[in-house]
Amino acid sequence: MVSQSHAGEPALRGLEFGLNEWLVDEQYKRYLEDPASVDRTWRDFFSVPAAAIGRQERHAATTTVPDSAGDAALKAVRVAALIDAYRVRGHLVADTDPLSAEPADVRPELDITAFGLGNEDLDREFVVDGFAGRDSMTLRHVLDALRESYCRSVGAEYMHIEAAEERRWIQRRAESPQPVPDRAEQLQILYRLGAAEAFETFLQTKYVGQKRYSLEGGESAIVLLDALLHRSIEHGVGEAVIGMAHRGRLNVLANIVGKSYGEIFHEFEDAGDIRSVQGSGDVKYHLGAEGTYRALDGGAIAVSVVANPSHLEIVTPVAQGVVRARQELAADAGEGLSVLPVVIHGDAAFAGQGVVSETLNMSQLPGYRTGGTVHVVINNQVGFTTSPAGGRSGTYATDVARSVEAPVLHVNGDDPEAVVRVARLAFDYRRTFHKDVVVDLVCYRRNGHSEVDDPSITLPGMYDRIDARPSVRRLYAEALVRRGDIGERQAEGALRDYRARLEQAFTETHAAVRPAGPPAVAEATAPRPVTAIAEATARRVIASQTGLPQGFTVHPRVLPQLRRRAATLDAGTVDWATAETLALGSLLLDGIPVRLSGQDSRRGTFGQRHAVLTDRRTGAEHTPLSSLGAPASFTPYDSMLSELAALAFEYGYSVARPGTLVLWEAQFGDFANGAQTVVDEYIASSEEKWGQRSGVTLLLPHGLEGQGPDHSSARIERFLQLCARGNMTVAMPSLPGNYFHLLRQQALDGRKRPLVVFTPKSMLRLKAATSPLSEFTTGGFRAVVPDGTADPAGIRRVLVCSGKVFYDLDAHRQDAGVSDTAIVRLEQLYPFPEEELGAELARFPAGAEVRWVQEEPENQGAWSFVAPRLERVTGRQARCVSRPEAPAPAVGSARRHAAEQKALIEAAFA
């Protein structure tokens, strides 16, 4: 509360007797920042000299009958404060809960007496400055309009939005008379409710006891989606992408996406071919689908539901990535006019899972914006068995959305006409302002968490009310009949027709004989793509690094690095960053778009990449590879400080744009721990479960270099544990030239699979870790790099290793003059190159001992994965040289690390 009076400012201290302090304080702060941001009555009030206000207060304290212009002005300000109070807090008393027997009581801060107004003022006319489209109204009519606008079936939270234009836009929509739906619209609502209800009850009858995570209690979600998509068609949107967890998913697939009933019934019958080439598959309520939504008036729009595991909200950023990719293909990124993102959440998950906050935070970031998302919270008012009191700290499940100033529209799910109005409002807001909007569909869950769960055990009171409550379809049909809008026969006719269609599809599914399919056939191995480039191409790419715009001032520490890149081609010492630049630039010239993202990825964590340069004087940006004049785009982005949502977004993007090289770089490799759900549920298994392919590439800096337990290990062992059936490529190259070919191979290979690369840190500037230009203009990726120094006949020991430990081993071999030991580099860990490794090891005497050497502790790193495969190749057990088993990846002392490393290298040769 403002408590001081300054020259030229109003004295607000004396208003405690009537106006709410918090409201006056908020309005006054806005007035000081921008007088135009508050209503005219507030501007008039704040501009009144302090002495005049004092006279008005003294007068108001002695009489309740206004008899002066000053007192009338003060009353008008109080009415304006009342209007603002309802705009801010009216949602708290709105009738949005279908399980509530009575509407919420009027809160004390919304009572007229809290504003110094009384019954004697009800029939007085006040200036209202355009409220409800009027210049003046009686207080009685003001109250009626406020309750109609903010306290019926819709409660709107929007006054937390800073932009006055957006607030006024919502005010105009909320405070205008709401149109009554015509008969055709009423019938459409009734039809959609009937379809949603009949689908669930039919499945319950035919497949008793099977989990389906039904939509019963929240059938208005189908009405909401119907209204959203119908609005999309009206405005020329070509596609909608829906992300959602499993509750109500089957209903959406059937009644919105258009998946056939027969196909859904077939999944309930579990009659699929167990030898299918699609792999292990997934349960029916996790599957995605693509189809066409057809409005009852004949319009159509492409609709897809993104496949999603039971990790609920993880689909939220995945769907955003899919949408962004499709918008870019339509040359529409950022505006979002061509593709509409819709994400359907559960109330407990929306409040409880941090990935929701992460995704909301990325909604306005340059590399991630999709023109705003319509978020729909199917608010069952309970989690599995946990009530809101145990599931969140805030008032609403949607409170997190306020962090990005998204409007939140709470609506009673048992008022489907209000649901339609809110859906249209949400679409129009998103279209107008290109920002996220949240619809909180307050409903209930008629069954337990699944159809085999009894919810009354923990929620007896709630489920007594639910059991006694008719369905929303029945309530709406009865209301239409009662109002005389339709006849009773018409109300039930559509439901009978829909049930008949379900019964026919069910009968046809049972009657169909499905012969067993042919045995799964292994996919033919495609020839390796040509990854070498012409020398002229290499020089053209490197020339872009120093061909800066006229007048552009590069940072003095960066310019020498760029010049060295040009010099290394002739010197034959191409380093890691230059090799990567050659790979990405040559792909752009080949017509392959490249998207790079991650925390500080444009500069590179270790100051090695400099994909985007910043003018030292002006702050202007320049992307050297974008000056190539290539037919494809290079889009590097620094992500927000997130791994989970950021990687999920890139995965979704890669699925929708398979022709793009999509790179996500962790700041340090162990940061991928924060995105483990994405790795487990999507990157490693999506093709196996859903037949969904991705070529997303993970760049994970890895290496034990005395930096402590963190920032050392990218957890190689975790990725290798997930490798099977050719699901992804895992590599730890030690040569810049090999890294170059690996990236180009990933982009050019027609069979898309994820790539995980354990990239270097100290090796980025290691003089020994360079490649000559010839390695880029000839050859290809080598999964195994042979030992090129030793005489095979004299070898009695072969060390097999991956990554930077090779250089420590090789340095020791040279310093100690060791001639009987070969060092073979395993650059690709999976798919394990048995043939190549076997051919290399066969060059050495049969009695030569094979040792695996790794920096990581024995229980970590690649050893447990490599051991049985080495034995298969050599016919005998290999020995592991590593640090001892440990629960942490590395020690915390640089001195101790150096001692361990020295002992490790010596043990390898002992």
Determine contact, residues 804/769, Cβ cutoff 8 Å: yes
Tell me, what DSSP letter sits at residue 891? Answer: -
The Cα 227–Cα 890 span in angstroms is 56
The Cα 756–Cα 742 span in angstroms is 11
> Radius of gyration (Cα) for the chain, nearest Å?
33
The Cα 855–Cα 901 span in angstroms is 8
Residue 39, both tokens: 């209503």
Nearest CA to 889 out of 711, 680, 675 is that of 711
Determine contact, residues 397/352, Cβ cutoff 8 Å: no
Predicted confidence at residue 625, as pLDDT, reads 96
Tell me whether the omega of the peptide bond preceding residue 108 falls within 30 degrees of 0, making it cis.
no
Determine contact, residues 716/861, Cβ cutoff 8 Å: yes
Nearest CA to 714 out of 758, 759, 669 is that of 669
Contacts of 901 (CB under 8 A, 6+ apart): 704, 808, 855
With a cut of 50, list the residues of the chain below it in pLDDT: 1-18, 49-67, 273-279, 513-522
The Cα 591–Cα 579 span in angstroms is 19
Predicted confidence at residue 321, as pLDDT, reads 97
Tell me, what DSSP letter sits at residue 470? Answer: P
Rounded to a whole number of angstroms, the distance between the first and last alpha carbons of the chain is: 77
Predicted confidence at residue 272, as pLDDT, reads 53
Write out the DSSP string of 844-866: S-TT-EEEEEEEEETTSTTHHHH
Residue 530, both tokens: 């040509």
CA quadruple 543, 546, 548, 550: dihedral, nearest 10:
-110
> Per DSSP, what are the bridge partners of residue 850?
798
> Per DSSP, what are the bridge partners of residue 51?
none
Amino acid, single-letter form, for residue 336:
G
411 phi and psi, to 5 degrees?
-140, 140
- Tell me the pTM: 0.90
The Cα 780–Cα 864 span in angstroms is 28
> Per DSSP, what are the bridge partners of residue 440?
377, 410
Residue 410, both tokens: 């709470």
Q: Is 106 left (phi over 0), alpha (psi -120 to 50) or beta?
A: beta
